[in-house]
Amino acid sequence: MRLKGLELYTEHPEAEFAVSGHRACQGCAEILGLRMALKVFGKDTIMAMATGCMEIISTPLPTTTWTIPWIHIAFENAAAVASGIESAIRILQEKKKIERKDIHVIAVAGDGGTSDIGLQALSGALERGHKFTYICLDNEAYMNTGIQRSSSTPYGAMTTTSPPGKKSIGQSTWKKNMPKIAAAHNIPYVATACPSYPFDLFAKIKKARTVNDPSYIHMLSVCPTGWRIPPDLAIEYGKLAVRTGVFPLYEVEDGRYRITYSPEPLRPVADYIKGQGRFRHLKEEDIALIQNRTTAEWEELKYLCGLR
C-alpha cells in the first residue's frame, strides 16, 4: 500500500496511555518515546511487551502504567506473542465472537529483545505478514540487567560486558543495522525515530498504524543511566545523535528510502561523543575512526534515498 508523504504533524495528541507513577529513571527516553507513540496509536491498541526496562518500570504487581490492554510473556518473543494476539482478534471478529473494529496490535522490545535474542521471532512475524507494528526501543545496551552490551551498542562504548581495558577499546563491533534487516523483509513500512523529534515520530507512528501489513519503527532512546549523561540532557543527546548523522531519521516505504529530517551540514560526531561517560575513554584517533564510519554511512543512506 502506498502512503502519501509525511504531512507535517503539528498537533500534540492529548490522550495518555502510559500514565504517571512508573519507575523509569529521570530523563528516560524509552518511556518518553513509547508514551508519544501510544498517543498516536490510540485507545484501540493492544501491546505485547518484551522483558526489559519498560516492562520492569511499568508493572510491579498489583500496579500498572498502561491504560490499554498489555501483556508480557518473556524476553525474546514479543513479536510471536503479537502474532498470536493479532490472529486471535482476526478470527474472533470473523466468527463474530467479538465486535468488528479496527484494533491494532503492537509489539515493543528493547534493542536486546530485538536485535539479539528476539531477532528470530521478529523475522518470523514480519515474514508471515501479521498486521502489527513492532517498535524497537534502542538504548544501545541491555539496561534492565545493568548496561551489558548488545549487538546494537555502538563501537567504542563502555558497557559492563564490553569494558575498555589494556586489551579492549570497549565495544569492538559496529552497531547492527536493524532497520535495514527489517526492511529486507520487504514489509511496507520501516522508519527510524527519536523522541527528540516528536512531530517526526508522530507522523511515522501514524503511517505505521495505517498499513495493512507489518511495520517496524526503530526508536533511538537516550538512556541517561546507561550512557552516563545528566538526565536533563536526554533530549539534547537525541538531537545530537541525529545532527551528527549517528542516527539519521528516515523511512523506507514500499522499499523506497527517504530521509525525513536532513541535518546537513552534519555536526562532528565528537559533539555527540565527548559528553557521554560511556565514551569517556576514547582517544582522538578512535573518534576519527567513528567519524569516518558515520560519514560513510550517511553518504550510503543518501545514495539509498537517491540523493547522490
Partner 1 sequence: MTTKKGIEVSIAASIAAQLARVEVVAAYPITPQTHIVEHLSELVANGELEAVYINVESEHSAMSACCGASAAGARTFTSTSAQGLELMHEILFIASGMRLPIVMATVNRALSSPLSIWGDHSDIMAARDTGWIMLFCENGQEVVDSIIMAFKIAENRNVLLPVMVNLDGFSLSHVIEPIEFPSQKDVDSFLPPYKPLYSLHPDKPVTMGAYAMPELYTEAKYAQETALINSKKVIIDVMAEFGERFGRHYKPVETYNTENADFAFICLGSINENISTAIDELKSNGKEAGLIKLRLFRPFPKDELLAVLKDKKRIAIVERAMPGGAANSPLYNEIASLIYANKLHITLENYIVGLGGRDVHPEDFIDVFDMKIAAKKDNNNYNVIGVRE
Ligand X SMILES: Cc1ncc(C[n+]2csc(CCOP(=O)(O)OP(=O)(O)O)c2C)c(N)n1
Site for ligand X in 45-104 (CB under 6 A): 51-54, 75-76
25 touches ligand SF4 by CB under 6 A? yes
When the beta carbons of 51 and 260 are compared against ligand SF4, the nearer one is 51
How far apart are alpha carbons 74 and 90 in whole angstroms? 23
Only one residue has cell 546537513, namely: 264
Only one residue has cell 520487504, namely: 186
Q: Contact 128/84 with Cβ under 8 angstroms?
A: no
- From the list 5-13, 88-96, 143-151, 156-164, the region that binds Mg ion by CB under 5 A is 143-151
Query: Which position among 3, 88, 169, 235 is part of the footprint of partner 1 (CB under 8 A)?
Result: 88
Going by the DSSP 8-state scheme, the letter that residue 114 receives in this structure is I
How far apart are alpha carbons 246 and 259 in whole angstroms? 13
Query: Which position among 151, 225, 262, 295 is part of the footprint of ligand SF4 (CB under 6 A)?
Result: 225
Least Å distance, CB 65 to ligand SF4, is 12
119 touches partner 1 by CB under 8 A? no
Cell of 187: 514489509
Residue 44 touches which of ligand X, ligand SF4, partner 1, none (Cβ within 5-8 Å per kind): partner 1
How far apart are alpha carbons 70 and 68 in whole angstroms? 6
Least Å distance, CB 155 to ligand SF4, is 20
Query: Which position among 33, 156, 224, 263 is part of the footprint of ligand SF4 (CB under 6 A)?
Result: 224
When the beta carbons of 21 and 265 are compared against ligand SF4, the nearer one is 21
Query: Which position among 3, 25, 56, 304 is part of the footprint of partner 1 (CB under 8 A)?
Result: 56
How far apart are alpha carbons 62 and 209 in whole angstroms? 30
Element (H, E) at 249: strand 249-253
**Nearest residue to 82 (alpha-carbon basis) of 56, 112, 103:** 103
Query: Nearest residue by C-beta to ligand X?
Result: 110
Cell of 253: 516505504
- From the list 9-17, 24-32, 40-48, 88-96, the region that binds ligand SF4 by CB under 6 A is 24-32
Query: Which position among 59, 64, 145, 295 is part of the footprint of ligand X (CB under 6 A)?
Result: 145
How far apart are alpha carbons 27 and 271 in whole angstroms? 20
Element (H, E) at 106: strand 104-110
How far apart are alpha carbons 67 and 43 in whole angstroms? 8
Query: Which position among 27, 33, 110, 179 is part of the footprint of Mg ion (CB under 5 A)?
Result: 110
Least Å distance, CB 234 to ligand SF4, is 8
* Strands 189-193 and 249-253, sheet pairing: antiparallel
How far apart are alpha carbons 194 and 248 in whole angstroms? 9
Size of the site for ligand X (CB under 6 A): 19
When the beta carbons of 76 and 111 are compared against ligand SF4, the nearer one is 111
Residue 226 touches which of ligand SF4, partner 1, Mg ion, none (Cβ within 5-8 Å per kind): ligand SF4
143 touches ligand X by CB under 6 A? yes
Phi-psi region of 52 (alpha: psi -120 to 50; beta: other; left: phi over 0): left
Least Å distance, CB 90 to partner 1, is 6
How far apart are alpha carbons 116 and 38 in whole angstroms? 25
Least Å distance, CB 72 to ligand X, is 10
Which residues bind to ligand X, rule: CB under 6 A? 30, 51-54, 75-76, 109-113, 137, 139, 142-145, 150
